[in-house]
A and B are shown apart, each in its own frame.
Chain A
């Protein structure tokens, strides 16, 4: 307690109030957003690769892509569920939907998207491993409808975009957290999906053609570059509201969030950019895998800072 410093006459001081509630959306929501970016990102980047290259150049993509997406989406859905204080009432979103809420629209879209990915995963796994459940009637029927994968895929790619973006709309609806209400959040979400989508695919691309891997490096380099630019713009430019400016002082003023933010920028954006650019000139698979891992870690840390700091602001 320091009573030695006099308070300026113009300055008001709170002398009695309740404690501030602290961080309510914590690491589970960070993990939720991060996992969703992977779930949709691998589909978006996978679609880009399939548009640019022949399937033979990426032999395991057909089944690995929906499998990774399925795992990531289930991590996302699991943490969405357990973050609720009343998780068993999640069903209310489906029986009492309120369509003005991005949470509702997102939950419906994510559920449909997960359903499509599940179907794609089952078809592709049974095709990839023909000895698996060979005598099972259901497996036989699924194998007979194998072409359904290619029919669903375009719809899954289209749906992956709004599923990626709806979290930005939830942020925009969070009127009390002005830092989240920037239009750049939409692009940040999309860039995040491309970042981690390409990063994950880099990790499984050993048997792919050099051209496909080069495209992955290009996607990673472009997405981390633009995402980094937007973070820097938000960090340094003073174009925002008073509340957003005060929120950013939790990062500007040093301390734990400042350290976490800059570690995130180096790991998730700066390092992968230079490694990916270098790999475009001369491929280095080990370094690209290293870049993929740092991208995944860096994005998580960056999202975590951006999620938490607006919640530290006194609102009343």
Chain B
């Protein structure tokens, strides 16, 4: 299994760099993964990450795109409650890229 090393500690990931163990996640690891994705983490990014982790905690899956946009819209205003805003934050797709930074498993299927 591939690993990443952050602050002298190593963490197991899958072939694409998604954390294998949910409990391994912390801010430093998230920042490290974000850097490998060429993301410049801002407060707006963390809002999304925070929501994803809370949702996952409750439902054991990342939220549907629409659930996510709605939640963000409620929190940050309707002009941000759309997938375009999320794609600006996470250009490779809010589903996959944001999940990766949030330390959640990669959603797969016909998506």
Q: Do A and B bind each other?
A: no
Which residues of B line the A interface, CB within 8 A? none
What residues of chain A have their CB less than 8 Å away from a CB belonging to chain B?
none
